[in-house]
Chains A and B, each alone.
Chain A
Amino acid sequence: MRPAHSRLDNDWLDREAGPVVRPYAMTQGRVSPTGGGIDMMAFVVATSAETEPAGRLQPEHHAIVAAAWEPIPVVELASTLDLSVGVVRVLLGDLRSAGLISMYEPPAASRPHDVDVLKAVVNGLRAL
């Protein structure tokens, strides 16, 4: 495995090498969201059509609000908007503080998954 590692390290070209602009430039260097952590499976929903004074919002903030018209998980936002999960989290923190989005945290890790839901998943997979 060792040789494979060093080969991998040198293989990051183009997109894999990362963006030209450092990702956290978009968040003014902030690396954690205001108002506490955000689960990557949490659902985001834009709260109202009322346009808040755009103030310090960036195009990426607006893109998130537009994409969260319907409930959408954090990972899905990151993938759709081609932003990294970490950056999306910081931007979501801003939007949450501004009252522009609601967050719905997934059920706690300690809570077992509902057996009925599991059955629905199995049936759904069989039907694929």
Chain B
Amino acid sequence: MDSVRSDRNGASSRIPVALKILIAGGFGAGKTTMVGSVSEIRPLQTEEILTGVEGADDIGGVESKTTTTVTMDFGRITITEDLQLYLFGTPGQDRFWFLWDELSQGALGAVVLADTRRLADCFPSIDYFEQRGTPFVVAVNCFESEQRFAADAVGRALDLDAGVPVVLFDARESLGARNVLIELVEYVARRQLLSAGSR
């Protein structure tokens, strides 16, 4: 791949750094709200190919292929001209799990939104990121400023590994959502320094 390119303007334009952060959690936990409150939200469609290889239909090795349209929450935060943050709301329905693999590939980290009224809804997301080794923070969305549990109680209820931050916030407030992102990035940096130190 070329590292230098001839630019039409004569100046070489640098390739910016784009970081990917995933916003996960159960249905109705506030993913869309959070992406919208902290970034410029835009529509993003992915057309995915589902390849079904079912024995009964397998006549002469012909695969049945079908596409499914997935609309994701997608937002951008411009830190500087050369540094951009992209937020992806991971599709919540079970049948879109396969999309997560690509989304989490190379991701900086993830925010798992938890709703204390339906805490179990975020278990699959937590399991997923734990298994993949993707750093994540748990953000408890406090609807109507209702703060029914302390952050550490939520952390215990979720049986999180030591050090995984739990933050209480309101997804509708941009400052709260921003602080969750800061918490995540600082956590990733801490992990990085720790692993560098232990080497």
Tell me the A residues contacting B by CB distance below 8 Å.
1, 4-5, 8, 12, 15-16, 18, 22-24, 31, 39-41, 43, 45, 47-49, 69-71, 73, 75-76, 78-79, 82-87, 102-109, 112-113, 115, 117-122, 124-126, 128
Query: Which residues of B sit under 8 angstroms from A8, Cβ to Cβ?
Result: 27, 93
Contact partner of B44 (CB less than 8 A), chosen from A79, A105, A128, is A79
Tell me the B residues contacting A by CB distance below 8 Å.
1-2, 5-6, 8, 13-20, 26-28, 42-49, 65, 67, 69, 71, 74, 76-77, 79-80, 83-86, 93-94, 102, 105-106, 108, 121, 174, 178, 181-182, 185-186, 188-189, 192-193, 195-196
Query: Which residues of B sit under 8 angstroms from A107, Cβ to Cβ?
Result: 106
Contact A118 B42 (CB under 8 A): no
- In angstroms, Cα B76 to Cα A118, docked, is 16
Contact B192 A113 (CB under 8 A): yes
Interface of B is mostly: mixed
Contact B186 A122 (CB under 8 A): yes
Minimum Cβ distance to chain B for residue A88 (Å): 10
Contact partner of A104 (CB less than 8 A), chosen from B15, B80, B181, is B15
Minimum Cβ distance to chain B for residue A103 (Å): 7
Minimum Cβ distance to chain A for residue B195 (Å): 7
- In angstroms, Cα B18 to Cα A107, docked, is 10
Which single residue of chain A is at the shortest CB-CB distance from B107?
A109
Known: A5-B93, A31-B49, A117-B83. A106 touches B182 (CB 8 A): no
- 12 A-B Cβ contacts within 8 A? A16-B69, A18-B69, A22-B67, A31-B65, A39-B106, A48-B6, A78-B44, A85-B44, A102-B2, A121-B185, A125-B185, A128-B174
- In angstroms, Cα B28 to Cα A85, docked, is 25
Contact partner of B13 (CB less than 8 A), chosen from A48, A70, A84, A119, is A70
Query: Which residues of B sit under 8 angstroms from A109, Cβ to Cβ?
Result: 105-106
- In angstroms, Cα B6 to Cα A48, docked, is 7
Known: A5-B93, A24-B67. A43 touches B18 (CB 8 A): yes
Contact A113 B16 (CB under 8 A): no
Contact A45 B188 (CB under 8 A): no
Contact A85 B19 (CB under 8 A): no
Query: Which residues of A sit under 8 angstroms from B46, Cβ to Cβ?
Result: 78, 84-86
Known: A79-B74, A126-B182, A128-B178. A119 touches B189 (CB 8 A): yes
- In angstroms, Cα B186 to Cα A115, docked, is 9
Minimum Cβ distance to chain B for residue A30 (Å): 11
Which single residue of chain B is at the shortest CB-CB distance from A37?
B102
Contact B106 A86 (CB under 8 A): no
Contact A120 B188 (CB under 8 A): no
Query: Which residues of B sit under 8 angstroms from A85, Cβ to Cβ?
Result: 44-47
Query: Which residues of A sit under 8 angstroms from B182, Cβ to Cβ?
Result: 122, 125-126
Query: Which residues of B sit under 8 angstroms from A22, Cβ to Cβ?
Result: 67
